[in-house]
């Protein structure tokens, strides 16, 4: 009897089945090999950038600061004397009984131009400063410290890291900002600039603490200090010596590599987070309601998934860390290319799943670059403006360009971070504007609109402005209850 041979359809399916079995055996090995090679390459790239890039090594090799030189110590001491938060949110009784401290602080810090805050606002701030005399006395001393360091404790779940030093710095900086505003409005512009310099000292006290959060706080404190320096100039006429000290400290803040501290720290923290999560998913999720440890259920899938996330995030972190080693005019173009790759991954169904955590972490780093570039432009323009004001005190006239500033007043002028060229200057209607061309690289005469800058359209000339002496320190305009801006 002749045995029936399998048909063509059956033979084809056998081949498919054999191929599938081979693929099922080979694919995991190939994926492990592929992940291993990319992981090794990413680790090598991080090591070339910083031999101490891993978290334990990064923390161990932070700058050593002796207690006598450590500005973080008086910042912590001043913060301990303040409520958390400061200014505190108003109670219902306070809100119904008149102007609350938080509202007064918001009004005063948002004041722009030569018009001083109103008397009611200043009275509330004066009363609070009198009550916080002990904290204020300690906080003012921070101006004399050039460095700072606070220890960073990273728990097993990296996401639960508490940046207490940065949080304390924010409170102390706000107290000093209120102090500077009151001093400027009371006709003590030199004292106001001294408190602004203490604010910059609070930023320095954060030091090289790794991670985006502390360095973004440091950048925000620097911007608040410069905003208050410019307000002081709008309301009065500080001495040449006070201006020189403020200019020196603004330039020092501008020179601090906060972007490097942030991105190297974020790389180390994220790598450690995924390393710990690969070994134990309970680092994130704890235990299920039925008491069954999550790791027993998910570990076969979780471990390789977390390991792959670690590779993708490390590759992305390396790219971002390398950007800040370039000249600043190149930053945004390279960041834009990085954004395009992230968007392409997000547009892919496979990419959204396999690159989940890389996509989740991307927006924070993305927006940080915009903040850092704007900060550099703002601080650089303010330093040039302070030098121009010093020259006006010496000669009676503002310079028309950065090149006209006496080299003894400004030996090494900062450059526009967007173009790499000098900051622009414009003198009109009793106002001197020093400005950067901003993201769109167009000269709009120093005009700036926050929404336009955020949307990257129109008026984005980030800069600083000073007023002619006869225009400074005008009385406050009466508040209009129907105007939400006042």
DSSP 288-356: -TTS-BHHHHHHHHHHHHHHHHHHHHHHHHHHHHHHTTS-GGGHHHHHHHHHHHHHHHHHSHHHHHHTH
Number of compact structural domains in the chain: 1
Q: Which domain holds residue 187?
A: 62-254
Decide if 120 is inside a domain.
yes
Nearest one of 108, 212, 113, 80 to 158, comparing CA atoms: 212
> Six-digit token pair at 195?
């408190």
Instruction: Estimate to the nearest angstrom the gap between the alpha carbon of 230 and the chain centroid.
Output: 21
pLDDT of residue 221: 98
Q: How far apart are CA 254 and CA 6, in angstroms?
A: 79
Residue 11 counted as domain residue = no
Q: What confidence score (pLDDT) does residue 485 get? A: 42
Write down the pLDDT at residue 89.
85
Is 185 a domain residue? Answer: yes
| pLDDT tens track for 128-168 | 999 999 999 999 999 999 999 999 999 999 989 999 999 99
Coil, helix or strand at residue 217: helix
| 281 lies in some domain | no
* Contact indicator for 226, 274 with CB cutoff of 8 Å: no
Check residue 353 and give its pLDDT.
Answer: 72
Flag whether 99 is in a domain: yes
Task: Give the residue ranges of the chain where pLDDT is below 50.
Answer: 1, 23-24, 26-27, 29, 286-291, 481-486
pLDDT value of residue 8: 61
Q: How many residues does the chain have?
A: 486
Residue 141 resides in a domain:
yes
Is residue 206 a part of any domain in this protein? yes
Residue 471 CB: number of other CB atoms within 10 A? 14
Q: Are 206 and 214 in contact (CB under 8 A)?
A: yes
pLDDT of residue 477: 74
Tokens of 462: 């980030």
Please indicate, yes or no, if residue 36 is contained in any of the structural domains.
no
Burial 57-81 (b: 16+ CB within 10 A, else e): ebbeebeebeeeebbbbbbbbbbeb
In this predicted structure, what is the pLDDT of residue 144? 97
């Amino acid at each position: 009897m002749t045995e029936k041979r399998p048909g063509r359809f059956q033979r084809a399916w056998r081949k498919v089945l054999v191929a599938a079995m081979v693929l099922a055996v080979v694919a995991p090995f190939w994926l492990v090999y592929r992940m291993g090679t990319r992981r090794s390459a990413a680790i090598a790239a991080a090591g070339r950038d910083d031999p101490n890039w891993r978290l334990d090594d990064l923390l161990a090799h932070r700058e050593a600061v002796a207690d006598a030189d450590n500005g973080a110590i008086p910042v912590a001491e001043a913060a301990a004397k303040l409520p958390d938060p400061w200014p505190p949110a108003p109670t219902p009784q306070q809100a119904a009984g008149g102007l609350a401290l938080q509202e007064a602080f918001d009004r005063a810090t948002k004041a722009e131009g030569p018009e001083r805050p109103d008397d009611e606002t200043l009275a509330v701030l004066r009363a609070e400063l009198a009550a916080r005399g002990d904290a204020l006395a300690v906080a003012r001393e921070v101006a004399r410290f050039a460095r700072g360091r606070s220890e960073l404790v990273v728990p097993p779940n990296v996401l639960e890291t508490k940046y207490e030093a940065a949080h304390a710095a924010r409170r102390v900086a706000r107290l000093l900002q209120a102090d500077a505003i009151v001093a400027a409005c009371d006709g003590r512009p030199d004292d106001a600039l001294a408190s602004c310099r203490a604010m910059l000292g609070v930023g320095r006290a954060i030091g090289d603490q790794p991670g985006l959060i502390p360095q973004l706080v440091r950048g925000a404190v620097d911007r608040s200090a410069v905003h208050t320096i410019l307000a002081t100039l709008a309301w009065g006429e500080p001495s040449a010596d006070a201006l020189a000290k403020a200019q020196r400290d603004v330039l020092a803040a501008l020179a601090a590599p906060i972007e490097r501290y942030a991105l190297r720290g974020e790389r180390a923290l994220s790598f450690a987070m995924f390393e710990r999560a690969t070994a134990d998913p309970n680092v994130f999720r704890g235990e299920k309601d039925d008491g069954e440890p999550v790791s027993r259920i998910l570990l076969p899938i979780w471990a390789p998934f977390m390991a792959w996330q670690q590779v993708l995030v490390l590759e992305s972190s390396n790219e971002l860390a390398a950007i800040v080693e370039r000249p600043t005019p190149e930053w945004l173009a390279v960041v834009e290319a990085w954004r395009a790759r992230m968007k392409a991954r997000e547009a892919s169904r496979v990419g959204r799943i396999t690159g989940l955590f890389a996509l989740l972490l991307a927006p924070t780093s993305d927006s940080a670059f915009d903040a850092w570039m704007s900060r550099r432009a703002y601080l650089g323009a303010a330093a040039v403006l302070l030098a121009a004001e010093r020259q006006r005190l010496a000669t009676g006239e503002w310079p028309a360009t950065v090149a006209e500033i006496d080299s003894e007043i400004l030996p090494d002028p900062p450059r526009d971070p967007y173009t790499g060229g000098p900051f622009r200057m414009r003198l009109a209607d009793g106002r001197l504007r020093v400005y950067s061309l901003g993201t769109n690289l167009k000269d709009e005469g120093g005009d700036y609109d926050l929404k336009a800058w955020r949307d990257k359209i129109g008026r984005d000339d980030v800069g600083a402005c000073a007023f002619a002496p006869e225009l400074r320190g005008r009385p406050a305009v009466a508040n209009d209850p129907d105007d939400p801006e006042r």
